[in-house]
């Protein structure tokens, strides 16, 4: 088989998601052609897909050593740096590409993704619009523009970009799913009829079917057709579960290990840091963290970072080995007067160019790291969001999450078991830290917003600001999560007891909750 045919074979394996086989064949070719820039770039791309990001960087750098103007490799290298939160390196590479290869739409798109990740949405839009002038029908650019517009509350503009996508590519399920979050199907079923055309489309892959079925589930819930809503959600979750790997036992071991370690750590002398007052808003996904952040970040002294994953990555990279924490490393870092954990976190936060000392971080699963927060972020405030467990778990079941850490979210039993593990860990943190954690009850906030939000603002040591109740009009903090559509609306009560129409369909999940909580 000649070189060209081997490359075709490798690309075919990649298209079938057979990355380990593709990598093996690529490595054999690299040994024969060690200075082939195209081949080294391809190897790096496969490593990216296998989540071996650091190894991919080595390949991309070799590709650039072999060919300095390989802008595809440079773009991929920037993406790897971005994935590792090494934003400065990534940004410098994107700028180099755009300066030397002005029509490089992929670089413009990826640079916009970086800008969006650090909440610079207007800068992201400028880059995307620049790309759109070069390629007016580029689906990726149009989709990212829609996401940008939705994130900052420009819903009509977002819908316009999604409509353009569907004009070009009527079966684009990603556009259908995003559009479904912005439509009330009780008022207009035009889009629902369009989506139904693709239910039996055999050309859709598993991810496209998942997106379509989640969108159809949402549409039928709007129409109060709960049976069909559940059937579509069931199909979506079933496909997603099949394509995910999740071991509940590993999560349990991690949680147990956290408790064991912090049972034996005496947090008497907090680590010193500067004046930053980080406000960590955590809880289960879909527990109200976005609502609370939008309220708090609407305060004139607060800025919102959104759902960032910096803390998780820093803790995992420094202390977690497999599924077990290295206690000696934790103790060594506690003794370190420089507080490197805070510094690493703060270096990433600085890329957001915030002006205030009060910054919200609403990554829900930071509830796992409350002990670390107490040690390394002593000036911080911790707000724990919680709601009716059945409403919370139903909301998880209804949504499609992009994060690989949410692989448990597509199975009734896994969702319920994950909730129980979360609940037990939170009980532990609250017994250890008592008044240092503010419990924000979703139902109380919905029913008495001013009274409850005033308590939260007071807990954060801030004076009251009435703008906290006008969060839905405020575009200070973009929303990047599945809660984006709700964040642009004023408070509504339909999400309370939302589980009741689904009780007969979700008996497996709800029985586990009833038995264990």
DSSP 435-455: GGEEEEEHHHHHHSHHHHHHH
Residue 358 confidence (pLDDT): 93
Residue 17 confidence (pLDDT): 84
What residue spans define the domains of the chain?
A: 1-102, 254-388+434-489
Helices and strands (H, E) in the chain, number of each type: 26, 7
Q: Give the Å distances, CA to CA, from 316 to 175, 401, 407, 413, 517.
A: 34, 21, 18, 26, 29
User: Phi, psi at residue 321, to the nearest 5°?
Assistant: -120, 100
- DSSP letters, 163-223, are HHHHHH-TT-HHHHHHHHTT--TTT--HHHHHHHTTTT-TT--HHHHHHHHHHHHHHHHHT
What does each of the 517 residues of the chain score in pLDDT, given as a tens digit? 688 899 999 999 998 889 999 999 999 999 999 999 999 999 999 999 999 999 999 999 999 999 999 999 999 999 999 999 999 999 999 999 999 999 999 999 999 999 999 999 999 999 999 999 999 999 999 999 999 999 988 999 999 999 999 999 999 999 999 999 999 999 999 999 999 999 999 999 999 999 999 999 999 999 999 999 999 999 999 999 997 778 889 999 999 999 999 998 876 555 555 556 899 999 999 999 999 999 999 999 999 999 999 999 999 999 999 889 999 999 999 888 888 999 999 999 999 999 888 999 999 999 999 999 999 998 899 999 999 999 999 999 999 998 888 999 999 999 999 999 999 999 999 999 988 999 999 999 999 999 999 999 999 999 999 999 998 877 777 776 665 555 556 677 888 999 999 999 999 999 999 999 9
Residue 272 confidence (pLDDT): 55
- Please state which CATH class domain 1-102 belongs to: mainly alpha
Q: Give the Å distances, CA to CA, from 372 to 307, 378, 420.
A: 18, 10, 21
Cα separation, 381 vs 301, whole angstroms:
15
SS (H, E, C) 37-79: HHHHHHHHHHHHHCCCHHHHHHHHHHHHHHCCCCHHHHHHHHH
Cα separation, 466 vs 457, whole angstroms:
11
Cα separation, 419 vs 500, whole angstroms:
19
Burial of 342 (0-12, 13-18, 19+ CB in 10 A): buried
Q: Which two tokens stand for residue 192?
A: 């629902």
- DSSP letters, 341-382, are HHHHHHHHHGGG---SSEEEE--GGGGGGHHHHHHH-TT-EE
Residue 486 confidence (pLDDT): 58
Strands 358-361 and 302-304: parallel
Residue 294 confidence (pLDDT): 94
Q: Which two tokens stand for residue 508?
A: 């497996």
Cβ(462)–Cβ(358) below 8 Å: yes
User: Is the model's pTM score more than 0.75?
Assistant: yes
Cα separation, 432 vs 158, whole angstroms:
45
Cβ(360)–Cβ(304) below 8 Å: yes
Note the CATH architecture for domain 254-388+434-489.
Answer: 3-Layer(aba) Sandwich (3.40)
Residue written as tokens 């009850």? 441
Residue 512 confidence (pLDDT): 97
Residue 137 confidence (pLDDT): 97
Cβ(344)–Cβ(377) below 8 Å: no
Q: Collapsing DSSP states into helix, strand and coil, what is residue 282?
A: strand
Rounded to a whole number of angstroms, the distance between the first and last alpha carbons of the chain is: 61
């Amino acid at each position: 088989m000649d070189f060209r045919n081997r490359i075709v074979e490798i690309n075919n394996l990649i298209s079938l998601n057979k990355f380990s086989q593709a990598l093996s064949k690529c490595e054999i070719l690299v040994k024969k052609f060690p200075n082939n820039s195209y081949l080294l770039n391809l190897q790096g791309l496969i490593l990216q897909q296998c989540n071996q990001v650091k190894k991919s960087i080595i390949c991309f750098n070799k590709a650039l050593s072999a060919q300095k103007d390989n802008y595809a490799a440079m773009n991929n290298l920037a993406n790897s740096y971005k994935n590792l939160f090494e934003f400065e390196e990534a940004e410098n590479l994107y700028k180099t590409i755009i300066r030397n290869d002005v029509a490089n739409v992929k670089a413009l798109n990826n640079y916009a993704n970086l800008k969006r990740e650090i909440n610079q949405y207007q800068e992201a839009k400028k880059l995307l619009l620049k790309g759109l002038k070069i390629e007016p029908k580029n689906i990726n650019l149009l989709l990212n523009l829609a996401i940008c517009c939705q994130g900052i509350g420009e819903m009509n503009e977002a819908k316009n970009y999604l409509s353009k996508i569907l004009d070009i590519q009527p079966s684009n399920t990603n556009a259908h799913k995003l559009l479904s979050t912005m439509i009330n199907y009780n008022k207009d079923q035009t889009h629902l009829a369009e989506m139904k055309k693709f239910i039996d489309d055999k050309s859709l892959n598993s991810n496209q079917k998942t997106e379509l079925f989640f969108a159809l589930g949402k549409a039928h819930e709007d129409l109060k057709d709960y049976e069909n809503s559940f059937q579509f959600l069931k199909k979506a979750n079933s496909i997603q579960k099949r394509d995910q790997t999740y071991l509940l036992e590993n999560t349990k071991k991690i949680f147990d290990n956290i408790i064991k370690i912090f049972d034996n750590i005496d947090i008497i002398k907090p680590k010193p840091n500067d004046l930053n007052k980080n406000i960590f808003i955590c809880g289960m996904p879909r527990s109200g963290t976005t609502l609370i952040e939008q309220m708090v970040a609407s305060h004139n002294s607060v800025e919102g970072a959104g759902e960032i994953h910096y803390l998780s990555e820093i803790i995992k990279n420094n202390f977690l080995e497999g599924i077990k924490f290295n206690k000696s490393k934790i103790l060594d870092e506690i003794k370190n007067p420089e507080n490197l954990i805070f510094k690493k976190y703060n270096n990433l936060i600085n890329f957001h160019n915030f002006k205030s000392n009060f910054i919200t971080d609403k990554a829900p699963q930071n509830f796992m790291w409350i002990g670390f927060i107490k040690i390394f972020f002593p000036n911080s405030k911790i707000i724990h969001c919680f709601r009716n467990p059945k409403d919370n778990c139903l909301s998880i079941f209804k949504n499609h999450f992009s994060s690989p850490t949410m692989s448990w979210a597509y199975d009734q039993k896994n969702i319920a078991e994950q909730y129980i593990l979360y609940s037990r860990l939170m009980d532990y943190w609250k017994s250890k830290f008592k008044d240092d954690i503010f419990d924000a009850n979703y139902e109380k906030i919905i029913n008495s917003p001013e009274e409850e939000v005033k308590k939260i603002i007071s807990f954060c040591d801030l004076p009251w600001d009435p703008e906290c109740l006008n969060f839905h009009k405020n575009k200070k903090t973009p929303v990047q999560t599945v809660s984006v559509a709700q964040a642009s609306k004023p408070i509504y009560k339909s999400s309370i007891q939302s589980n009741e129409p689904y009780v007969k369909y979700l008996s497996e999940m709800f029985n586990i909750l009833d038995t264990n909580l």
